[in-house]
Structure formats: structure tokens, C-alpha cells
Structure 1
Amino acid sequence: MGRSFKFLLVLWALVACAGVASAQPSSDSRVADLVKRGEVRIGLFLPQYIKDAASGELKGVWAESARAFAARLGVPLVLVEHPTPPQAIACLKSGACDLLFLPFDDRSASVGDFSPPIFQFDYTLLVPANSRVHRVADIDRTGTKIAAVRNHASTISLSGLLKQAELTLAETPEQTFELLRSGQAAAMASARPTLLTYSAKLNGSTVLADRYGANINRMVVPKGKTGWLSYVGEFVEDAKATGVVQKAIERGGPPGVTVSPPGDPK
């Protein structure tokens, strides 16, 4: 056996050992119960993910960030899919999910305990071709209807700003988009990444450059899980500082998402 071949064997063995070591479960006492169970269940809801039609894999910055967290924890990840935010919240409260991604506001404050911000994106409008709406302020007119997802954070933010226009609500982003495409609404309100995706399906449509709010995502643990919260908070800050979140955005998308600044303005 030549020296070169022996060297390659040794190198392969070292790489293999390093891979096994990196996969070892965390010994941190703050998450000992999670590690003992042998998996972490993170709930996602539409439009936080897109499912690959061929492989069934969930894609998006939420799924990629969840994978990064599970890798740090050293246990397998279970992504729990939900069609709406209320169903994902019910999953966390029932104990069927361990974590979620949500913005922090008065409506969500009672859901669980929140980490510092991890990533964020704007709320804005999608308008069809030849629309006279060029800025968010242009939409607030008597008789104007805006399609929006019921109970979504972007909808709650917009409802507090409107004085004359009316919201036409649907249960999912796809149903909301159909209201716009069918002419039942003059605009669709949502997060910029979602609107950029739907804009590609409607010729001549435009996602407005300005915004009416922002979705600042945080990781959420059940109320009272102080150890989990401390561990998750450290993960979030480390992931922002070391480029893990940026890589998750680049791998998973969607366009329009940015890394949140360090710290917690809450």
C-alpha cells in the first residue's frame, strides 16, 4: 500500500470522525429535555415554506434556519406543516411543537416567549398592470378593496392604518391572490417575499417599493421554558454574527428577506 493511499485513508478517517463529532447531541443542561427526546419539532405555516413537488422537501429561510438550529442542538429536525398561523400557534400551545417563528406584537405576546429578532422583511402591496396605485398611501380610497390573509400579521398592521379602503379576507395566500387575479380586489397585501412570488404569476403586476410595516421574525418557545429561551437566544445572535442566517436566506429565499441587526430592540 503506497504512502499516498495511506494518507488518503487517514484523511478520510479524520473527516469522518469530525462529522460524527459535529453531530453529537448538545450537552447543554438548558436543553437537556429536548436532547433526551431525540428530536426538535418546529412548526411552520404558509407562506413560511414552499414544498418541493419532487422531493417533498420544505424550502425557505424558515426551514433553513430550523435546520441550522437542529444541527446546533445535535438532534433530528421534524418540520410540522400548518396551513395557517392559528394552527401553528395551537401546535405550540398543545406541546406538539417545540418552537415557531413569529413576529412579536400585542396579538402574539401571549403565544410564548420570544428570542431576539433573527430576520425580517417588509409589508407592502401587489397591484395589477395599469394600476393607479404607486404608493401605499394611494390605496386608501372609498370603495377600494384590498385582498389579505385573515389573522396574518401583515393584515393586522394594515387594518390599523386604513380609513376608507376595505379589506377582503381569505384563509390562505393562494386564495388571497385569486381575489386579486379575478378582479375582486384592487391590491393584495402581504409580506414582500410572498408578493414577489405571486407577482411572477400575474403579467404586468408590480410590488410597491415602499412599505406599510415590517415583519420582524423571532423564534418562539413555550411560555416558561426559560432554559430553552436562553439557548435559542444565543443561537440567534451567533447565527446572525457568523453568517448562518445570511446563508439560510441565500439557500432558501425568498427574495426580500434580510438579516436582523444584532441585539433586541423589544
Structure 2
Amino acid sequence: MASRLGALVCVACVAALAACTTSPQASRPSAQVVSELAPSGTMRAAINVGNPVLATMNTATGQPEGISVDLARELAKRLGVPVSFVIYNAAGKVTAGVQAQQWDVGFVGIDPERAEYMDYTPPYVIIQGVYMVPQDSKINTNADVDRAGVRIAISGGSVYDLYLSRRIKNAQLVRAPAPSLVTDMMLTQHYEVAAGVKQRLAADVARLPGLRLLDGNFMVIRQAMATPRNRPEATRYLTQFVEEMKSSGFVAASLQRHHVDSAEVAPAETAPQ
């Protein structure tokens, strides 16, 4: 009897320790949180189907699906409000959308320039920005790209466009209106390099002959949830929500369910970045 009681006490201690060391669960949302995340009574979620890591359109149903859609639905369920999806085909259009007050919750790559218009949570996934070149290109490393005469096709307004705009000194960035048009623009205009999210460019390499990815990446993209600026209670709640979604396995399960293998769950953080 004593040994059994001791075992139960031990189990209780382990459970208590685990509760102290895991990320805090998102508390029950206050009326202020609900008001900031769904001021119209419906939570408007910006969904970028131009980034296949985040979302794609299901051609059979005509509805978006992916990790950002799953997170938006789970969040709306906790808030007790309906969700509507505001669909964009490029990240730059998501940024323009927040300026036009078109959405309440977004899913974007963290960048200091975007912080003028929105507040971020910690990241929930990490993805890679990579370069793609023709198979016979003499460009073989990421360091070879930033040279005079090299033209880089890129999706305008994307987080990797913002990043490279600050760092490229010699090559020229040539902007397409959406990620889906970058490879076609590179090929038809005979540009030397394309830049983008690894999953999209890897899919282009698989379906089109004569292309290859450069090894490694030129940046790591920290993908976060966001709200329009000056909604502090919403940002605090979303921070807890994101940390719980990572620690509970929700994010990992969603990535697996949607067959996303070029992204990883972001490590735990304790405060928005």
C-alpha cells in the first residue's frame, strides 16, 4: 500500500513538473480579446495561397486548406465566433490588405518593415528561402548570386523580397506580382536566378526540366500570426495561442496532414518578436 501511494505521489510530481515546464496554455479569451480579434463579430483571417507551406486552394471544394487555415479555425472556435477567409495570392497583398483594414488575423513572415502595420506573435513554423538556377548555370553557391549582371526573379512584397532588397548590392531584383509567376518569368525572360520559398521552387524543379536549387538557403523565414497594430490584448492572447499550438503538437500534426515536409515547427519562445 505504501509503495503504491509513493508511486502515485511520484506520478503527481512528474505531472506537476511537466505543467511548469511546458508553454502556458492560452487562457479563456476576454471580451476585449474577442473584440480586438473579431471587431465585426466575425474573425477575418488573411490566407496567402501563394505560399504552399501556409495554404493552397482545394480545387474540388473551392476552399483554402493548410496550416494557416487550421490555426484560424481553431482560434475562431476558441473565441466563439465565425471565421471568414480573405484570400490573397501573394504576401505583399496581405500587407496591403492590413493597410486597407481587410483582415483581423494574418499569417506572415516576420520582417521589420511590416511591423509598421502589424504586430507579430512568435513564429509557429520556420521555412527556407532558396535560389533556383538553370541546370547549366555557372552559379553554384548562394554567394555567387550577388554579382553584376545577375537578375533575380522574385515575388514582389514577399518577406524574402524585403530581405534581399536590404542585402543585395550588385545583382538586380526583378519582381513578379505573385509567387506562382516567378519561375515562368525567369524562364521566358531568361533571367539568371529565381528566389522563393523552398517548397514552391522545389515543385518547379520537379515538374520542369533543366532547373536546380542551390544548396542551403539565403534566409530562414520565421512565419508568425499577426494582427493590425495597436490591438495589444489580441497580440498577447495570440502569443499564448501560438505557443500552445506548437507545444501541443497541433502545428506538427497540421504540417503532416497537409504533406508539408519543407518546414519545421518553430522552437518555443516566451514573448513576441
Asked if Structure 1 and Structure 2 have the same fold, meaning a TM-score greater than 0.5 normalized by the shorter chain, the answer is yes
Contact 2:107 2:223 in 1 (8 A): yes
Q: Percent identical across equivalent pairs? A: 25
Alignment of 1:89-238 (within 5 A): 89-182=95-188, 184-238=190-244
- For the residue of structure 2 that corresponds to 1:120, the secondary structure is strand
Higher mean displacement: 75-84 or 109-118: 75-84
Superposed displacement of residue 202, structure 1: 1.4
Q: Deviations over 1:97-137 (max 9, x none)?
A: 11111223221111122111111211111122223322211
Compared CA separation, residues 159 and 92, structure 1 to 2 (3 A): closer
- What is the CA-CA distance between 1:28 and the residue it aligns to? 3.1
Report whether the alignment pairs 1:39 with 2:39.
Answer: no
Structure 2 match to 1:53: 59
CA pair 30-196 structure 1, distance change in 2 beyond 3 A: farther
Give how far 1:90 is off.
Answer: 3.5
CA distance 1:88–1:156, shift in 2 (3 Å): closer
**Cα distance change on mapping 1:174 and 1:104 into 2, 3 Å:** closer
Asked if the contact 1:111–1:223 (Cα under 8 Å) also holds between the matched residues in 2, the reply is yes
Q: What's 1:28 paired with?
A: 30
Name which of structure 1's ranges 26-35 and 64-73 shifts more when overlaid on structure 2.
26-35
Change (3 A) 1:240 1:254: same
For the structure 1 residues 62 and 141, does the alpha-carbon distance in structure 2 shift closer, same or farther, using more than 3 Å as the test?
same
Unpaired runs of 5+ residues, structure 2, are: 1-27
Letter in 2 for 1:194: R
* 1: CA distance, partners of 2:167 / 2:113: 16
1:122·1:211 contact (CA, 8 Å) conserved in 2?
yes
Q: Does the 8 A contact of 2:90 with 2:155 survive in 1?
A: no
Partners of 2:94 and 2:173 in 1: how far apart? Answer: 24
> 1-side partners of 2:95 and 2:156: how far apart?
15
Partner amino acid, structure 1, of 2:44:
R
Contact 1:64/1:252 (<8 A) preserved: no
Q: Secondary structure at the match of 2:44?
A: strand
Q: How far 1:239 moved relative to its partner?
A: 0.4
TM-score (norm. length: structure 2): 0.79
Aligned-pair RMSD on alpha carbons?
2.3
CA contact (8 A) 1:196 1:255 kept: no
